[in-house]
Structure 1
């Protein structure tokens, strides 16, 4: 007994879109590390506490970078599953949507890391 799986034309584009999320996560973790170091937040502390935030603008930026990164990680499983399922019927649309999502997360992260929530959409 053999099973044959036929993927639609254009399914290979999903690979590039999935790789784009790796670059997104690398970008976000680099920001977290940068602000962790500049704020002097020692491991294993996940977030800067209230006193650290009041003492340093970099501490609030660290908290924001950490939260943006964690929020991306929280959303990735559903984004991946949705992209794969959509890609079985509409691969180019699915790959484009994931690429657009990745670009929007870069923009979101850059705004969020300012420490001013109003700048998230700028």
Structure 2
């Protein structure tokens, strides 16, 4: 049976994973609260274009919804890469996870302004994603290369 020894630095990875989950929860809570304000009934995910032109609150709701959905679209991959890469490179992985979290915050700030192109403020968060992917790839290579 294989065993994995975790460095105490892996705690940083766990902390970033927790912060990441809190961000996702926060984004979802904004959707829920603004759904009531904009009066977009369930089960509709978005208000349509005509509704948004007539009511700015509906546009803002759509922005909140898109922030949350976009975050969820890549969240599973991000978390897998964070947790795997952190096994061998915990400080680098936690740092890249922090970049992802910060990028998500800027993405949220820009998009929730009601000007969707302002979401690009958070584009630097992709550095975290691609960095984690690279580190996880390096871990895979190292494990395969160390086979007897």
TM-score between both structures, scaled by the size of structure 2: 0.74
Q: Distance in 2 between matches of 1:119 and 1:76?
A: 21
1:108 maps to which residue?
A: 107
2:21 maps to which residue?
A: 22
Q: Secondary structure of 1:47's match?
A: coil
Structure with the larger helix share:
2
Q: Distance in 2 between matches of 1:54 and 1:78?
A: 35
| Cα deviation, residue 71, structure 1 | 0.7
2:94 maps to which residue?
A: 95
Q: Distance in 1 between matches of 2:107 and 2:91?
A: 24
List runs of 5+ in structure 1 lacking aligned partners: none
Aligned residues: 121
| 4+ residue segments displaced more than 3 Å | none
RMSD: 1.7
Residues 67 and 108, structure 2, Cα contact 8 Å, conserved in 1 = yes
TM-score between both structures, scaled by the size of structure 1: 0.89
